[in-house]
Amino acid sequence: MNSPSNKVKKTTSRCGFIALVGRPNVGKSTLLNHLLRQKISITSRKPQTTRHRITGVRTITDTQFIYVDTPGLHHERKKPLNRMMNETVERVIRDVDVVIFMVERLVWTDEDELVCKALKGVNKPVLLLINKCDLLADKEKILPHIDMLSRKGSFAEIVPVSALKGYNLDVIDEVVRKYLPEGEFLFPADQVTDRSSRFIAAEMIREKITRQLGDELPYETTVQIEKFSDEGKVLHIHGLILVEKKGQKQILIGKGGGRLKTIGTAAREDMEKAFDKKVMLKLWVKVKSGWGDNERALKSLGYTDY
């Protein structure tokens, strides 16, 4: 008779990249922040707030989820900035292990169809997340909508969620884990993103600009961090805000500098929470015509990851 084995079965770890894709303003960045239990991706009600690939890492016991937030995929490709954002999405889709395609409750738009077409022939699991389901007055309407969506593509799973309210988000971890490859962790367990503190600071400033100015300021604004100095208990951060036109600069600064001060205060408060330090933030505004139409300028400003 063979004696029973005393060996303890080793738990197999899983690790992989998961793309968050969808049309602009569908809630991808909000979802990422809630999945990570920490804010690393900026949000606003304005479409195309996210312009970069942003990686968020969540490690729990034997699994490391590496989520990749992407800009919204849209039809406009004429401007270099829009073209670069679309190309970022397309490259991310090719490189990841799992794709999460986000749509919004009972809505299906031409841009949703554009994303769906981009996923045709993708040889990896595609999970369809229906966002903002908490806003449905009649929950029974979701069932025929799910049936319609299931015929749009070959989805491994369809999951109703609310990124903002946190509804069903725990289910996402369980569902995604099934499709991640076995393998060692690629990041330390306590790391949350691969982006630098300078990048996060610039994005926080841009978020406040987008939120406070709404439709007053077009998309032609970006932020460069010219100084990021850690002096013990205090971070000294200098941010340069670039706009396309002189009139935009005046709007951004506001009467007596009031609007720029409000933006700076809100950004500084977020930075102090994120970096867990006192922050001394100084902001300037400069006109740089055509930066959004110049590929060389866009690359120097960090609008390409490859």
* Residue 275 covered by a domain: yes
User: Does a structural domain hold residue 190?
Assistant: no
Per-residue confidence (pLDDT) for residue 37, from 0 to 100? 84
Which of 43-52, 101-110, 116-125, 234-243 is predicted least confidently? 43-52
Domain final position from 179, 212, 242: 179
Q: Clarify whether residues 156 and 30 are in a common domain.
A: yes
Position 8 in a domain: no
Considering only residues 155 and 78, tell me which one the structure prediction assigns the higher pLDDT: 155
Do residue 116 and residue 230 come from a single domain? no
Which of these three, 179, 208, 235, is where a domain ends? 179
What number of H helices and E strands is found in the chain? 9, 9
118 and 209 belong to one structural domain = no
- Domain containing 75 equals 14-179
Is residue 172 domain-shared with residue 209, that is, in the same domain? no
Contacts of 97 (CB under 8 A, 6+ apart): 16, 17, 18, 124, 125, 179, 180, 181
Using CA atoms, how far residue 197 sits from 99, 200, 204, 228, in Å, is 27, 5, 10, 8
In a domain, 7, yes or no: no
Q: 236 versus 114: which is more confidently predicted?
A: 236
- What percent of the chain clears pLDDT 70, i.e. is strictly above it? 80
Do 34 and 124 lie in one domain? The reply is yes
Q: At 222, which CATH number?
A: 3.30.300.20
Residues 95 and 223 both lie in one domain: no
In a domain, 192, yes or no: no
Rounded to an integer, the average pLDDT of 129-141 is 77
End-to-end CA distance of the chain: 60
Residue 244 within a domain: yes
Q: Which of 179, 208, 232 is the last residue of a domain?
A: 179
Q: Is the predicted pLDDT of residue 34 greater than 80, yes or no?
A: yes
CATH number of domain containing 64: 3.40.50.300
Selection from 128-132, 159-163, 288-292 with the highest mean pLDDT = 128-132
Determine phi and psi for 175, rounding to 5 degrees: -70, -50
Pure H helices in the chain? 28-36, 80-95, 110-118, 142-150, 169-179, 197-213, 246-253, 258-275, 295-300
Asked if 108 and 257 sit in the same domain, the reply is: no
214/54: higher pLDDT: 54
pLDDT per position as a tens digit, 285-298 = 999 876 666 556 55
Q: For 80-89, 192-201, 206-215, which range has the lowest pLDDT when averaged over its residues?
A: 80-89
Q: Are residue 155 and residue 211 in the same domain, yes or no?
A: no
85 in any annotated domain: yes
Q: Which residues, in sequence order, are CB contacts of 89 under 8 Å at separation 6+?
A: 21, 70, 71, 73, 118
Helix (H, G, I), strand (E, B) or coil at 49: coil
Residue 77 has pLDDT above 90, yes or no: no
Distance CA(59)–CA(159), nearest Å, equals 22
Between CA 220 and CA 192 the distance in angstroms is 29
Per-range mean pLDDT, top range of 25-29, 39-43, 166-170, 191-195 = 191-195
The domain tally of the chain equals 2
27 with 170, same domain?
yes
The CA distance from 128 to 203, in Å, is 28
The percentage of the chain sitting over the pLDDT mark of 90, rounded to a whole number, equals 34
174 and 211 belong to one structural domain: no
pLDDT at 17 exceeding the cut of 90: yes
Instruction: Say what the pLDDT of residue 16 is.
Output: 95
> 21, 29 in Cβ contact below 8 A?
no
Asked if residue 191 belongs to a domain, the reply is no
Question: Is it the case that residue 47 has pLDDT exceeding 60?
Answer: no
Task: Find residue 229's DSSP bridge partners.
Answer: 236
27 and 114: one domain?
A: yes
Query: Does residue 135 sit in the same domain as residue 64?
Result: yes
**Looking at residues 61-88, what average pLDDT do you find?**
76
**CA-to-CA distance for 182 and 90, rounded, in angstroms?**
25
pLDDT band, very low/low/confident/very high, at 217 (cuts 50, 70, 90): low
